[in-house]
Amino acid sequence: MRILLEWKKTKRTGFVPAFMGGGILAAAVPAVNMAVRSEMYLGRQGTCVWILMDANWQVMAMLNLLLVVAGACLLYHTEYADNGLQKMKSLPVLESSIFFGKMVLMILMSVLLLVMEAASILFCSWHWFGGQAGGGQLGGGDGSVFVIELCQSFGYAFLLMLPCVVLSLLISEACKNMWISLGIGIVCVFTATMLPTSSFVLSLFPFAMPFQVFAGADAAWTTRFICAAVVELVVLGGAEVLIVGGRLNEFFIAS
Amino acid sequence: MNFLSLLNVEFQKIRRSGILLILLASTVILWIPSIFNLDLNFHMQAEGISPEYNFFIQGFMAMSWFMYPAGLVVGTVLVSQTERLNKGILKMLALPIGTVRLSLAKFVVLLVLSATQILMMTGMYYIGAAICSVMRDYNFILSPLFVMREIGILFLSAIPMLAFFWMLSVCIQTPIFYIGIGLASIVPSVLMINTKIWFAYPMSYPFFVIVSEYGKLATNLDTAQVEFVPWIPVAIAITVTCLCVSCLCFGRGERR
């Protein structure tokens, strides 16, 4: 119900088409890369998912991040633009439930993005790697391993994207003006691009996590990141409840 | 109302916007990794570039690739959204001021924001270089004349891109589309500078110019050099077209 309401609010804001367009753009990255210089990648060692992710994931993750930041800004901009949030606050609904409704919507959109990107990786490995490097035979035999690897890679990417989704929504909720939340989000993305992906502590920054690749990394490394992502999600969710709670208290004191 | 007082009004509108803080934060973040990775500057013999030039150009490359164009996108959002909030633009359009002049005044504000960002970057560069010089007992500070030349080129090369972003924000009413198109168009600039048609893509100009400067400073590195003949006419054509379209379309959505 709450999510349906948030969905209705995004009508005519271009939210869904933007994610669709961004998804198509991100999905085009590996296809174009392979079409232009496939000879660079075909002879490499390793599974085709690893080769494709290694070659393209940095650009794709960056596009995902920028979409998430812009989408989060938009979701709260629609509320702040004509004082919609004030009206929502006067309704008998918890303010944090608005946040979680928007969060679910963003998560659904991220799933859509990742599915489009996974389809593109699937297409590239079928078209260019057909038969080699673990790709190609999608039905049974070697192919089942390939499908599992693809699902694992994108499941991992999805989990590591969640803290960034929550944090960018938190930033957008905190700033009334769209350019401030957009500016902060972009500065965060820029910081993430400056951090080395090989350092565990620095990669814990929520905006730097989506740049991690599952394929090719060892199990201990990915397990640490999965744990870190869950911890960050809990912390950020708690922060949201606390911030809103603090604001409610302020309201009661003021009245 | 003459153009100068119109400009004054536009600057007053963004006075409390907090954009300067965001730009300042990005420039501080830019130079911190450079200071921490100071040692890398001394291991660039393969490229044949001296440490002080490497320190300067690496920072400027990082900036001109993403943060500088993205900062301009945020600037266009600021300039267009401050007035769309609370329907301020309708009041402006009701005044006896030509929309063309209004649009141009806003574009000048954007140019000033762009210059401010570069100047902050340069100021931070000097602070960072001074810190590094003290840490290493090696002079990292370059002559102001050289730095002025570089930042001048960077500023000029960004004008077509800025005109394009401004046209997007004027012509597209839904904010997410012009933000999305603006940000998404920055990402492929890394690929575009390696192609022969880079001059047709205004978003790649600042990065291309800085990379070609890097090639000039590093004796062993061969990067594509700026060729003025197809570039300057195309850049001027893009700028003029974008500005004309934005002047024509300005306020059209609101007047409907």
pLDDT digits (tens, 9 = 90+) for B10-52: 888 888 888 888 889 888 888 888 888 888 888 877 777 888 8
Higher pLDDT, B46 or B138: B138
pLDDT of A250: 56
Asked whether the ipTM of the predicted complex exceeds the cut of 0.85, the reply is yes
Cβ proximity of A22 and B180 under 8 Å: yes
Which of A:235-254 have CB within 8 Å of B?
A: none
B183 vs A contacts (CB less than 8 Å): 66, 70, 186
Q: What is the pLDDT of residues A43-58, one digit of tens each?
A: 777 778 888 888 889 8
State the pLDDT confidence band at A255, using cuts at 50, 70 and 90: very low
- Check CB contact under 8 Å for A71 and B176: yes
Question: Which residue ranges make up each domain of chain A?
Answer: 2-254
> Is A77 in CB contact (< 8 Å) with chain B?
yes
For A210-234, what is the mean pLDDT?
88
Q: What is the pLDDT of residues B203-252, one digit of tens each?
A: 889 999 998 888 888 887 777 777 887 889 999 999 999 999 999 888 88
Residue B108 lies in a domain: yes
pLDDT of A143: 54
Residue B168 lies in a domain: yes
Which residue carries 């590239």 as its tokens? A124
State the pLDDT confidence band at A65, using cuts at 50, 70 and 90: very high
Higher pLDDT, A120 or B222: A120
Residue B1 lies in a domain: no
- Check CB contact under 8 Å for A77 and B183: no
- This prediction has a pTM of 0.88
Q: What is the pLDDT of residues A11-31, one digit of tens each?
A: 888 888 889 999 999 999 888
Q: How many domains does chain B have?
A: 1
- Check CB contact under 8 Å for A184 and B22: yes
- Check CB contact under 8 Å for B177 and A18: yes
| Orientation of helix A178-194 relative to helix A142-174, angle to 10° | 140
Domain that holds residue B187: 17-31+49-251
Higher pLDDT, B122 or B36: B122
Which pairs count as long-range contacts for B240-247, CB under 8 Å and 24+ apart, including other chains?
B242/B160, B242/B163, B242/B164, B242/B166, B242/B167, B243/B104, B243/B107, B243/B163, B243/B166, B243/B167, B245/B167, B245/B170, B245/B171, B246/B103, B246/B107, B246/B163, B246/B166, B246/B167, B246/B170, B246/B171, B247/B99, B247/B100, B247/B103, B247/B104
For residue A2, pLDDT beyond 80 = no
pLDDT of A245: 65
Residue B12 lies in a domain: no
Range name among A219-223, A243-247, B240-244 with the lowest pLDDT average: A243-247
Range name among A206-215, B36-45, B74-83, B232-241 with the lowest pLDDT average: B36-45
Q: Residue A134: which of A19, A216, A37, A242 has the closest Cα? A: A216
**Per-chain mean pLDDT for chain B:** 87
Residue B8 lies in a domain: no
- Contacts of residue B102, defined as CB under 8 A and 6 or more positions apart, other chains included, come to B6, B92, B250, B251
Q: Which helix (H) or strand (E) holds A254?
A: helix A219-254
A187 vs B contacts (CB less than 8 Å): 22, 25-26, 29, 67
- Contacts of residue A175, defined as CB under 8 A and 6 or more positions apart, other chains included, come to A181, A184
Q: What tokens does A11 get?
A: 């009508």
Query: What secondary structure does DSSP assign to A100-141, as a single string?
Result: HHHHHHHHHHHHHHHHHHHHHHHHHHHHTSTTSTT-S--SST
Range name among B34-38, B52-56, B69-73, B113-117 with the lowest pLDDT average: B34-38
pLDDT of A131: 55
